[in-house]
Chains A and B, each alone.
Chain A
Amino acid sequence: MLGFDISRLPQTEDDIDFSDIESKYQVPYEEGFDTIIVVDNVPIVDESKQDKLLKFIKKIFKNAGDIKENGINMPMDADPATGKLASKGYLFIEFETPEQASLAIKNYDNYSMDKTHCLAVNRFTDVEKYSVIEEEYKEPEEEKFVEKEHLRSWLTDPQARDQFVLYRGDDVSIFWNKKAEPPEEEHKRVNWTETYVQWSPLGTYLATFHRQGIALWGGPSWNKIIRFVHPGVKLIDFSPNERFLVTWSNESISLGPNGGIGSPFGPEDEGHQIIIWDVLTGNLLRSFPSSTSTDGAPNKITWPMFKWSPSDKYFARVTPKQQISVYETPSMGLVGKKSIKVEGVEDFEWAPASDKKEKQNASDKKNSEEMLSYWTPEIGNQPARVTLLNIPSKEIIRTRNLVNVKDCKMHWQSNGDFLCVKIDRHTKTKKSTFANLEIFRVLEKDIPVEVIEVKDTVIAFAWEPKGERFAIITTNDPNYGQSTQGVRTNVSFYYLEKPKPGKGGDKVSTANFKLIKTLEKKTSNAIYWSPRGRHVILATLRSTAVFDLEFWDLDFDTIGDQKEGSKNDPAASIQLMSTQEHYGVTDIEWDPTGRYVITSASFWRHSMENGYSLWDFKGTLLQKQLLDKFKQLLWRPRPKSLLSSEAKKKIKKNIRDYSKAFEEEDALAQTSVSKELLAHRRRLVDEWNAWRKRVEKELAEEKERAGVQIIPRRYDDEKVEMIEEWIEEVVEETEEIVED
């Protein structure tokens, strides 16, 4: 024992300082009384009935656990009126363990002993705790109302510019698009996110990902608006109207040793991986476990796992091969209290919100049904099937049986007017596949289905947003899917031919989708429609050698009033505006107004020439920025316009007057910028020249002092150069003289 001094041992035991040991083994006050409960509302009895009552009480509470010997204590007092001893209506019971005491409270609180006596059971320590609470009610201090910032302030930009978020290295910045000029930085934070960033669908919030959860940011100051705790969160999904947020983490929620105190999770959330949140309040609404297949193994994560109906009213997920579970907001319960069992179901999609339907619904409130579509493959003798289903009535509106299906993909047009089901089928040899496009015309009576046969494999399909046209990319290259080399592809555009007015004005429903044009021998493999329709970019992505971008206009000559011509030959109005190349392009993003497009090469995919290019819809390069470690760029989405269609029409009509003002503004901005730049340059030149002058003077002085001859600067005179050039010619002349 180090430092143990035998000569300084204490004389008696009293001299030894035990305080450290005492404090270590001290029984905390509360802990000591954890086994005691207080039972109230016990019948008041006198001495004679005391034993009987205690026996009875013992019998009740024996079920909860072992009562300590002499563990029941009922205080008795002399009744002031009669002078006899009487109980006071309550008693104490001590159990062996605190757990038993808890059980007793749980089971026998509110226990009806007889008709008039309902037991109130409390923990002894609780009684103690509540009895010391101040008698007087103190009003809690009212929290000061802090006005929230205008979350949509970016829309009030006088020039209606758009914002985008740029993630590069560790920096996340919000920029204003300034066309050909370098974008203006609005806000920047280092390490704003740990993995990536995401806008909410209407652009109100920017979501950042952190180890602990998700944070939403917004408003002009870009302050944090709300936080959602979800450890290890990987994926998120907003509901279409930003009311709800779904988060998924690959880690199951665990409450930890303290039982989840301080976290938003309760015992019912334990082990779950998906959480639905209320965006406005930040409250956890419901959590879900990851879906499992019939044999209990977890299914592959497909995202979004929960698909939202366009009104935010319903959300649903599919358990492949088993069922579709549709939930309702805000109750978070299953619609009709049970999932829809569909044997073999593979996938489903909600029909997007339709403008026309909305109007219908407004007039007819009962009919506020939303539609979803799902498909099932062939099972046994039952053919494959696509079904349209109404929610919440779960009424099947339309089914279509299909045979020989390998795979199905459902594409809704953005207004929900059409549903195109792309069906991959094996050829007879089963070596290759070909596709059928089955188009459901949802708006028409009985929902007619039209079939378009495509001989080749369809690798991309896209509806024109809000339009009646679509584009597909097909290939018959056997190498498709095997090599990373670009394959030859064909791009085809289709449109809905308007029904020709029949005789006597009766409508002949021969509105059919017709091929407009096929572009052959392309390398494109991706279709990017402008969010406003009409313009489309055909791109070659993820290739190692080709990085083509083609900018197409589908209404080229219909500017003005030449509708007649375009009707006769829709193919004539398809025009290639520009072919460009962006080396290493990985992503393409239209801005929400369809005016600009950004193509980017992300560091996440490769490290060659990372950065982005900004184009206008015609395919003119406005600027190119090469940024080291460029990761992500996202335009800020815009909410739906509040203008009525009449107001929009009016603006369109007077577009010339409006554009004049804008053009003037643009011109002004340009001159002011170039002026600024010029002044900046001039200043730089002046500074440099001043510095040179000073340094040269110093140098000359020092040289003089050092006695070094000042050698004039060489060759800085135009004349000297001239002479040098002349020398060559003189040499030639002398040669001539020799010849003489």
Chain B
Amino acid sequence: MVRHTRSLTQIKYNREGDLLFSVSKDHVVNAWYSHNGERLGTYNGHVGAIWTVDVNSTSSLLLTGSADNNVKLWEVETGNCLHTWEFKTAVKRVAFSEDDSMALFVTEQRMGFPGTVAIYSIENDVDAKQSDEPITTIIPEGSKAMVSDWGYLNKYIITGHENGAISQYDWKTGEKIKSIHPHTDVITDLQMSEDRTYFITSSKDKSAQIFESSTLIPLKKYITDAPLNSASITPIQEFVILGGGQDAMQVTTTTMRQGKFECRFWHKIFEEEVGRVKGHFGPINTIAVHPDGKSFSSGGEDGYVRVHHFDEDYFKFKYPEL
């Protein structure tokens, strides 16, 4: 699906998986039917590259964060912009909490402003007025936060940092509960498992890792040969999908083959690579798996969103004698 004129930054399925939202550096939010790739509509209003998108569990509200320093709340059905939060710097990540009652916004560290993670309460009524006052604003010490998501039951939030560290914060008090330093380079993505009991991180250090959410104990590690931009966990089958490729800046100097622009499938438990899916002409920036685990989508630097449906063999796939 090409409707974006610039590189993709994030894609997200809604809870049912029938809709797919994609955001890109071309200032446009697109909504698609996930089964056939038909475009449902666009949400126009941002004037900067959009970095991030999230949809609530009832698919009524959509949050987008952009380099124009705004977070916008959209009505999914109509495309109306319901509210705009203004920040001092670009917004790199937005995420609804599990029960949709709150959302976190990760803002960039720039122009003298520290990077923050701000928590806002969200009214899940289209007509309701949204609060402009954050519940808490966390300013991570040391390295800035790149990505973040909620733990189950809104107990805490998990942040991934520029220096490769992962921290667990109490969002009510803004206090750091735990912190580990498992990666050696920027953490590029952090995605929760279905029940939010574990999560996967991807990093430019060419590895992806799975951690237990509550304790931050590392469970699995996947070492690849290319910097990773995104990692996702598949339901049904025990796989993870990793995507990346060398830096966009270096792409012009190398051939497609060396770019390693493939989606890599790794067995979640055995930490073994099982397959690759080619297709993109540039690095893969974001990967999302359909909630029912029957398809997945990838968004690349090349401006394409590719929706892949798994065939029968995928579901039959089993390691021998298991």
Contact = CB atoms under 8 A, between A and B. Distances in A.
Do the two chains bind?
A: yes
Nearest to B260: A609
A609 B257 CA distance: 9
B308 to A, nearest CB: 17
B219 A691 contact: yes
B48 interface: no
B77 to A, nearest CB: 21
Contacts of B197: 695-696, 698-699
B115 to A, nearest CB: 31
A715 B319 contact: no
A601 to B, nearest CB: 11
B321 interface: yes
Interface stretch (A133-141, A265-273, A307-315, A681-689): A681-689
Contacts of A691: 212, 219
Contacts of A696: 195, 197
Nearest to A691: B219
Interface stretch (A25-33, A330-338, A415-423, A702-710): A702-710
B152 interface: yes
A628 B254 contact: no
A691 B257 CA distance: 39
Contacts of A609: 225, 257-258
A608 B153 contact: no
Contact of B321 (A626, A678, A695): A678
Contact of A681 (B194, B270, B291): B270
B132 interface: no
Nearest to A720: B292
Contacts of B258: 608-609
A192 interface: no
A713 B17 CA distance: 14
A204 B319 CA distance: 43
Give the interface size bracket for A toward B.
20 to 34
A628 B225 contact: yes
A716 interface: yes
B235 A716 contact: yes
A583 interface: yes
Given A713-B194, A715-B293, A681 B219 contact: no
Interface string A217-238: 0000000000000000000000
Interface in B114-137: none
Given A684-B269, A715-B292, A702 B153 contact: yes
B236 A716 contact: yes
Given A608-B254, A608-B258, A708 B153 contact: yes
Interface string A460-496: 0000000000000000000000000000000000000
A671 to B, nearest CB: 12
Contact of B269 (A608, A628, A685, A720): A685
- Chain B, interface residues (CB within 8 Å), range: 20 to 34
Given A685-B322, A721-B292, A706 B269 contact: no
Contacts of B214: 695, 698
A714 interface: yes
A720 B236 CA distance: 12
A438 to B, nearest CB: 44
A706 B294 contact: no
A685 B236 CA distance: 15
Contacts of B153: 702-703, 706, 708
A682 B320 CA distance: 11
Nearest to B206: A628
A628 B291 CA distance: 35
A728 to B, nearest CB: 9
B269 A583 contact: no
Interface in B184-218: 194-195, 197-198, 206, 212, 214
Contacts of A698: 197, 214
Nearest to B224: A626
A715 B258 CA distance: 38
Contacts of B152: 699, 702-703
A685 B319 CA distance: 11
Nearest to A626: B225
B319 A695 contact: no
A699 B197 CA distance: 8
B225 A721 contact: no
Nearest to B321: A678
Contacts of A608: 254, 257-258
A593 to B, nearest CB: 31
Interface string B99-118: 10000000000000000000
B225 A714 contact: no
Nearest to A695: B197
B321 to A, nearest CB: 6
Nearest to A684: B269
Given A608-B254, A691-B219, A706-B153, A721 B294 contact: yes
Interface in B1-49: 15, 17
Nearest to A728: B35
Nearest to A714: B291
Contacts of B254: 608
Given A628-B225, A681-B319, A685-B322, A713 B291 contact: no
Interface string A236-247: 000000000000
Contacts of A702: 152-153
Interface string A578-620: 0000010000000000000000000000001100000000000
Given A681-B270, A684-B269, A684-B270, A695 B292 contact: no
Interface string B153-188: 100000000000000000000000000000000000
A58 B121 CA distance: 111
Nearest to A606: B258
Contacts of B319: 681
Contacts of B293: 715
Interface in B228-275: 235-236, 238, 254, 257-258, 268-270
| CB-CB nearest 3 A-B residue pairs | A715-B292, A608-B258, A695-B197
25 contacts: A583-B257, A608-B257, A608-B258, A628-B225, A681-B269, A681-B322, A684-B269, A684-B270, A685-B322, A688-B268, A696-B195, A696-B197, A698-B214, A699-B152, A703-B152, A703-B153, A706-B153, A708-B99, A708-B153, A713-B194, A714-B15, A714-B292, A715-B235, A715-B293, A721-B292
Interface of A: 583, 608-609, 626, 628, 678, 681-682, 684-685, 688, 691, 695-696, 698-699, 702-703, 706, 708, 713-716, 720-721, 724
Given A626-B225, A691-B212, 9 more contacts: A608-B257, A678-B321, A681-B269, A688-B269, A695-B198, A699-B195, A699-B197, A715-B291, A724-B292
